[in-house]
Structure 1
């Protein structure tokens, strides 16, 4: 991580000339002390970086400095390029230029041997633009307004200050300070629409975001926040769905039975999403326990059958 940060810091200095330590600290979300340690690391690596005091002062490189690829081993070059390719999974289009520059600098022509893409099949240009907009809001500490589709199927208006993008359980989320709830909230990106950037006080927003981030971190450690209550499940899965359960459940939670089917013992968050997830297996899955969920699945199945048999 430090190698990547040092490389990015070098390019920022090359591009902007002089940058203050607080600016770099905010850019990389680290302390000012860490920035000065990075400056020392760059200096020890042979990069002519220096600091100046007073008005207009800051951290700079000598005017004639050119990044020397020999500072990085061949393996480190490959790792940096792969990291940039992996970040493209978040659909950050401005990474393409940085990737091309580094590929040329390192003289790496065969760099497209792998592609990492978390986006769903068929996702369009609008969703790609949404990621760029959210990234801008996070880095510039800007408020956004948007319409959100709640778990109850209702469209609600929200105003929030995004803090970070999260990828969890095959989906992208944005963690943000919600002005309606006056607290940190996590929103699923595919449920967001009509997203717009709003004007705001960047310094005040940064303070709110930092406060909310601390609250969110504490909530995650204590098992609170937006996490749904867990439920213990026993599932019977037919052999035809083996390809799914090996990807979606822990190996120690799966037992293969004599008839070739599988018994899965696991804990999952409860809620409407769980029922829809279980139904995604079709007739290849049976809920054995708990009885309450089994009865709910039975009732839902009967209701669905009624729509076609009635």
Structure 2
């Protein structure tokens, strides 16, 4: 907060030349004493700021002072602006005023190049609000409660200390500490219902590689070799890295990919229906075959 206030103070003085400490205190909603401490901090940092007393007194910068923009190259300035636009699209508080000030400082009219909607296609406003609520809870370190439905349809009530929103494998997840399981867990956001923030805070830090730690704890990896029909080419190129894909003369594809082995990977393969065939390993092929047979019985 102080860093933003210091930058804004310099920006105001560059535009207004002189303001009183009382006016700055009113603008930032802080005490006059805080403003004088900020002035000391700026002065100690090499900013030529000074105060004058009397009828026309106030806080000023030395004449002809220009904030050194050469510290950042044009490319670095563009990257800063694009990063701030990314944050703005996520509705992070207080980003837009800083973005506008930097665009003025850098003398750039940046294009609004990104817009992000976390919710999936066809979702309601409640689904979009869920992401906003989680964002606020993460930033404010506020625990949340919700009903969670497992991949088997079982409902449990969870209280979680939310740490991060993650995207992987075409799905959004909440990563946080589950007080029920007393462990760090991933929760698929579409399976979270009746999300409610609690009136308390927590202290917890993220450590290490989230995905590596989670996979090594909850599932073992398996390397799959899957043959796909040419009719499903759009999904193959959407969902797999090109280095994993081998295209054959008949238009079909063979994909070699490593996934964590769990119920999710079986359901993922089944989502391709008759257009995918597991070639290896054999035990995965047998599992998929058995699941197809069990599903077929429902139609006989």
Q: Tell me if both proteins adopt one fold, taking TM over 0.5 as the criterion.
A: yes
Aligned CA distance change for structure 1 residues 63 and 294 (closer, same or farther; 3 Å)? farther
Aligned CA distance change for structure 1 residues 135 and 304 (closer, same or farther; 3 Å)? same
Shift of 1:170: 2.3
Q: Secondary structure at the match of 1:292?
A: helix
Partner of 1:174: 174
The Cα RMSD (Å) is 3.7
Aligned CA distance change for structure 1 residues 9 and 278 (closer, same or farther; 3 Å)? farther
Partner of 1:134: 134
Tell whether the 8 Å contact from 1:148 to 1:191 is kept in structure 2 after alignment.
yes
Aligned residue among 206, 221, 225 for 1:230: 221
Unaligned 5+ segments in structure 2 are 9-27, 32-40, 50-57
The whole-number CA distance in structure 2 between the counterparts of 1:199 and 1:241 is: 48
The whole-number CA distance in structure 2 between the counterparts of 1:131 and 1:67 is: 41
Q: Which structure has the larger Rg?
A: 2
Partner of 2:194: 194
Aligned residue among 254, 260, 277 for 2:251: 260
The whole-number CA distance in structure 2 between the counterparts of 1:86 and 1:165 is: 15
Tell whether the 8 Å contact from 1:81 to 1:102 is kept in structure 2 after alignment.
no
Tell whether the 8 Å contact from 1:230 to 1:270 is kept in structure 2 after alignment.
yes
Shift of 1:250: 3.5
Shift of 1:148: 0.9
Shift of 1:304: 3.5
The whole-number CA distance in structure 2 between the counterparts of 1:118 and 1:303 is: 35
Aligned CA distance change for structure 1 residues 167 and 222 (closer, same or farther; 3 Å)? closer
1:162 aligns with 2:162: yes
- 1:275-309: CA deviation from partner (whole Å, max 9, x where unpaired): 2211222322111222333233233333434444x
- 1:138-196: CA deviation from partner (whole Å, max 9, x where unpaired): 22222211111112211100112112222222222222121112222222222111111
Shift of 1:262: 1.5
Aligned CA distance change for structure 1 residues 151 and 115 (closer, same or farther; 3 Å)? same
Tell whether the 8 Å contact from 1:143 to 1:162 is kept in structure 2 after alignment.
yes
Partner of 1:11: 4
The whole-number CA distance in structure 1 between the counterparts of 2:48 and 2:127 is: 40
| Correspondence list, 1:1-310, <5 A | 10-13=3-6, 14=8, 15=28, 43=45, 70=69, 73-87=73-87, 91-92=90-91, 94=93, 97-98=96-97, 101-102=100-101, 105=104, 109=109, 111-117=111-117, 119-200=119-200, 202=201, 205-206=202-203, 209-210=204-205, 213-214=206-207, 217=209, 220=212, 224-225=216-217, 227-308=218-299, 310=300
Tell whether the 8 Å contact from 2:146 to 2:194 is kept in structure 1 after alignment.
yes
Unaligned 5+ segments in structure 1 are 1-7, 19-38, 49-61
Report the TM-score, using the length of structure 2 for normalisation: 0.69
- 1:212-258: CA deviation from partner (whole Å, max 9, x where unpaired): x34x6589359533x42222212111222233323433334322223
